[in-house]
Structures are given as C-alpha cells and as structure tokens.
Amino acid sequence: LATPLHTTERDLAAPAAPCDRLPCHKSSVCSRSYFVVVMVFFHVYIINVILLLFYVHYNSGQEDANRSRDAPSSNHQRPESRRPPSKPEFLRDVSLTRIEGIRVGHVQKVSLVPGKVHEMRTLSMKPLLFEIPGFLSDDECRVVMQLAQLKGLIESQLMVQDGQEELAKELNLSPEEIFNLLDINQDGQLQLHEVYILTHSRVRDGIWLTPENLREIYAGLKADKDGNGLLSLEEFRLLSNDAFQRFLLQRGVKRSQLVRNSRHTWLYQGKGAHQALQDIKTKVTRLTRLPPVLVDLSEPLQVVRYDEGGHYHAHHDSGPVYPETACTHTRLAANTSTPFETSCRYITVLFYLNSVEGGGETAFPVADNRTYDEVSLIQNDVDLLDTRRNCDKSNLRVKPTKGTAVFWYNYLSDGRGWVGEQDEYALHGGCVVTHGTKWVANKWINIDPDYQRQAHYQQLVAQQSEDEDDALDFNYQNQKQDW
C-alpha cells in the first residue's frame, strides 16, 4: 500500500505533458507574430494614403479659392489677365506633327475627305517631300483657275531681299569688309562665276544673270581691267548698284532673263470664301496634321500661271531666321527695331491645276544629295539654279499632273516638336514651259521658328478678333434699342 501511494503522489505532483493530449505545432507562435507585423504595416499604409488624400484635397481647395478670388466679376468687362503682356512668356504646350517619310518610294494611306483614301508617296528624304495624286478634283481645279482669272492675275514679282547697300549701312560694312565676306578662300580674288558673286548680282531688280551675262557686264563696265576673269578689291569697288542699273538700262532686259517669269494672284480662304477654297484648306489641314489655327493664320492661296517660256529659277520658299530677322507674318508681334524680315514658310503645298503639254516640271536640284555645298551649285559653267538651261541635271523632277499635290518641309525639326533650322535641300524651281500653259497653286503654312513670337502673334490676333466681336455686339445692342 505504501508503494502505490507514493507512486500516485509522484504522478499527481508532476504536471502532465501537453503533447500527451493534443498535437503540438511549434510554428504557431511565429505565424501569430508575422500576422501582427503584417497588420501593423497594413494599417500604417492605410493611414498614409488617407493623409495623402487629405493633403491633395486641401491644396486643391486652396488653388480653387485663389482662382475664385482672382476671377473677374460676372459683368462683360474683359479681365485684365487676358490682355497681351508686354513681354509674354508662353510655355511650350504645342508640338508640331511631322510626317515620317520612312524611305523614298514608301506609300502611306491618308484620309482627307470622308469615304475616300488617298495614297501619299515619299519622293525624297532631303527635303522631306511627298506626292499625293488626286488631291484636287477636276471641279476644284477648274474653280480655282476660274476664280483666279475672275480676280485678275498680275506680273509676278520676285521677293527680292533688301539691297546689300542697305545691309552694309545697317551693319556699317566697308567695301573691303564686303569683299572679304565674298572671298571665301581669302585669296584676294573673286571668281566671276562664283555663286556668291552671282547671288550678289541677281538680287538687283530680280534679274537673272548668267556667268556669260556677268562677263559681258564686267567688260562693259571695264571692271576686269586686266581681263584675267578675276576681280581684285580695286576692281570690285567699281561694281556699284548705280553702275549695274545704268548698264542694264542701256542693254535692255528680256522677260526670259527675269528670275521669275509668270503671273499670279491670291485667293482668300476664310469665312465667306468659295466653298471649294474652304474645302481645299480643310484638306491641307488634315494632310499636314497641324493645328487648324496655324493653317487659318497662314498666307492665302496663291495661284500662278506660266505661259510658254515661263519659268522660276531655283530658290528657297523660306529664309533662315537670325536674331535680327523677323518673320513677315508675325511682324505684329516682333521687335519693331528688327531691320530685316523673311517669309517663314514651314510647309509648302503645291497643287497642279492642269497637266502641262511640255516642260514645267518642278525641279529639286540637290534632293537627297549627301551634302549641300552652295559653291558646288555652279561648276564648269553648269548652274544648277538655272531652270531654263539645266533642269535636266536636277536630282529630282516632278511632272505636272492635274489634281496632284506635292508638299515638303522647308525647315527641319528642332528635336523638341517645333521649327528648327532651314532645310537647304528644299531648293526648288519651275522648269521652263516648252509647250502649253502651266497652272499651279501654292498653300504655305507660316510658322515662326521663335515659339514665343508665334504664340504672342496668335494671342494678339485672338485679342483683335474678340475686340471686333465685342464691337459688333455693342452695335447690335444699340440697334435693338433704336428698334
């Protein structure tokens, strides 16, 4: 009895092992700890999100309150903030769509009118040049030519740059400095056929002077005294504008010697214009994929007729823009002291209104050249700028076909969605018409490479439009009172 009793007391005194009753999982403690940590982080995250939402809501409320405080009253006065600032600063919030050429010969589909798809083919990459057959219908071609004839065409005048003498006065250049500017190899002599001398001479009254013409004029003026075909500084001093003018008047100038031999007129495309003209502008907007306001504020449609023998020597539609140069279309927003201006035509869209019997091609002398070198345009008396004699030597020629449109970029991209430097490869001209008559129309899209100036110009135009609308509304209200 003693032994069982002892055993029983020992057994009763020792705690029973839990594992003898229930299964034991040692990882349960760790699982509970992990769960607690996760829940803590989750609640902290929720709290942070709620605080962030309160912060955003508070700031938005403050901005709305500021706008409400600064907003004008509900009367008809124009708020002061809408007046153009004296020195406006506009954020670059507009990006110009630029169509990719992919490669020469690439064809892409474009939708210009409902229910019809046009094909656009890449003609060159330098400049970026495209051709769209059937861009204009036969009726549109006919209407444009009839409207131009109804309005009346005038003799085309070359957009001649201001004379070098005015430029020299502005820059205070001496004859020696001008001579050194033209003498690119600095050998103290100027070649008679050098392109810079031709350019220097051709700006006089839009007369195209060939190397042979120049030799004749220099001989008549006795400028090249030693007859070596070179001009020294002393000989260069004799070539004043007055001397050129007197000689040309005595010699006489034929129409074939003009830089441009054609007739033209301008057709307005805004509200109230013929529906065909408005439709053409709409198609140009869809083709170029530019904001409509840029197309609306560009030049009107130019219509040109070249009779037999008509031509246009190679040229650029736009010039490079320097700090001292303003764009013609944004002159209103430019510095009034800017001495020079040029036509800032970002895109040229050229329409052929009829098919030409002979000649009249649009020539691009240096399209897709590896390099562009102005001096190389005239070599061995072969002048690539001369479309009367050397059109067949151009890299690319587009045959005039009724209804076809070609368009190209006159400027490169600046890499940030705006206008960059001038594309010198966009040099082009109209070959001489050998048979029949040639009708074309030009639609230029004017954009200032200076974004601030373009934006300020658009703001000024919008302001003027609002002022005109207010004036009309004021007159209308007065008339109602009279009634």
Q: What Å distances lie between residue 442 and 156, 268, 298, 302, CA to CA? A: 14, 12, 12, 5
As given in the structure block, the two tokens for residue 12 are: 């009763």
Q: Which of 81-95, 155-169, 185-199, 326-340 has the highest mean pLDDT?
A: 326-340
Mean pLDDT to the nearest integer, 348-357: 98
Residue pair 333/461 in contact (Cβ under 8 Å)? The answer is: no
Q: Quick check: is 361 in a domain?
A: yes
Residue of 316, 302, 328 whose CA lies nearest to 448: 328
Total domains in the chain come to 2
- The residues with which 358 forms a beta bridge, in sequence order, are 435
Q: Identify the DSSP state of 36.
A: H
Q: What percent of the chain has pLDDT over 90?
A: 48
Lowest mean pLDDT, pick from 88-102, 240-254, 391-405: 240-254
Residues 328 and 313 both lie in one domain: yes
Q: Quick check: is 475 in a domain?
A: no
Q: Quick check: is 415 in a domain?
A: yes
- Average pLDDT value for the chain: 79
Residue of 242, 264, 301 whose CA lies nearest to 159: 264
* pLDDT of 96 over the 70 cut: yes
Distance, in Å, from the CA atom of 63 to the CA atom of 249, rounded to the nearest integer, reads 72
Residue ending a domain, choose from 237, 255, 273: 255
Distance, in Å, from the CA atom of 94 to the CA atom of 32, rounded to the nearest integer, reads 58
Give tens-digit pLDDT for 265-282. Answer: 999 999 999 999 999 999
Q: What percent of the chain has pLDDT over 70?
A: 68
Q: Quick check: is 74 in a domain?
A: no
Q: Quick check: is 63 in a domain?
A: no
Residue pair 296/176 in contact (Cβ under 8 Å)? The answer is: no
Predicted pLDDT of residue 204: 46
Residue pair 426/412 in contact (Cβ under 8 Å)? The answer is: no
Residues 131 and 173 both lie in one domain: no
Residues 311 and 415 both lie in one domain: yes
Q: Which of 189-193, 233-237, 340-344, 431-435 has the highest mean pLDDT?
A: 431-435
Residue 249: which pLDDT band, with cuts at 50, 70 and 90? low
- CATH number for the domain spanning 225: value is 1.10.238.10
Predicted pLDDT of residue 55: 64
**Contacts for 286-292: CB closer than 8 Å, 24+ residues apart:** 286/110, 286/111, 286/112, 287/110, 287/112, 287/120, 287/132, 287/135, 287/349, 287/405, 287/407, 288/97, 288/99, 288/347, 288/349, 288/407, 288/445, 289/97, 289/99, 290/96, 290/97, 290/347, 290/445, 291/94
Domain that includes residue 251, residue range: 165-255
- CATH number for the domain spanning 428: value is 2.60.120.620
Residue pair 220/247 in contact (Cβ under 8 Å)? The answer is: yes
Residues 326 and 268 both lie in one domain: yes
Predicted pLDDT of residue 1: 37
Residues 319 and 376 both lie in one domain: yes
Give tens-digit pLDDT for 1-33. Answer: 344 444 444 443 444 444 444 444 445 555 667
Residue ending a domain, choose from 255, 275, 294: 255
Other Cβ atoms within 10 Å of 188 Cβ, number = 12
Residue of 320, 315, 328, 302 whose CA lies nearest to 366: 315
Residue ending a domain, choose from 255, 271, 299: 255
- For residue 55, count CB atoms less than 10 angstroms from its CB and return exposed for 0-12, middle for 13-18, buried for 19 or more: exposed
- Asked if residue 127 has a cis previous peptide bond (ω within 30° of 0), the answer is yes
Q: Quick check: is 60 in a domain?
A: no
Give tens-digit pLDDT for 360-411. Answer: 999 999 999 999 988 788 877 788 999 999 999 999 999 999 999 999 999 9
* pLDDT of 457 over the 70 cut: yes
Q: Identify the DSSP state of 207.
A: B
Q: What 3-state class would DSSP assign to 236? A: helix
As given in the structure block, the two tokens for residue 397 are: 């020629």
Residues 277 and 363 both lie in one domain: yes
Residue 85: which pLDDT band, with cuts at 50, 70 and 90? very low
Mean pLDDT to the nearest integer, 422-438: 97
pTM of the model: 0.71
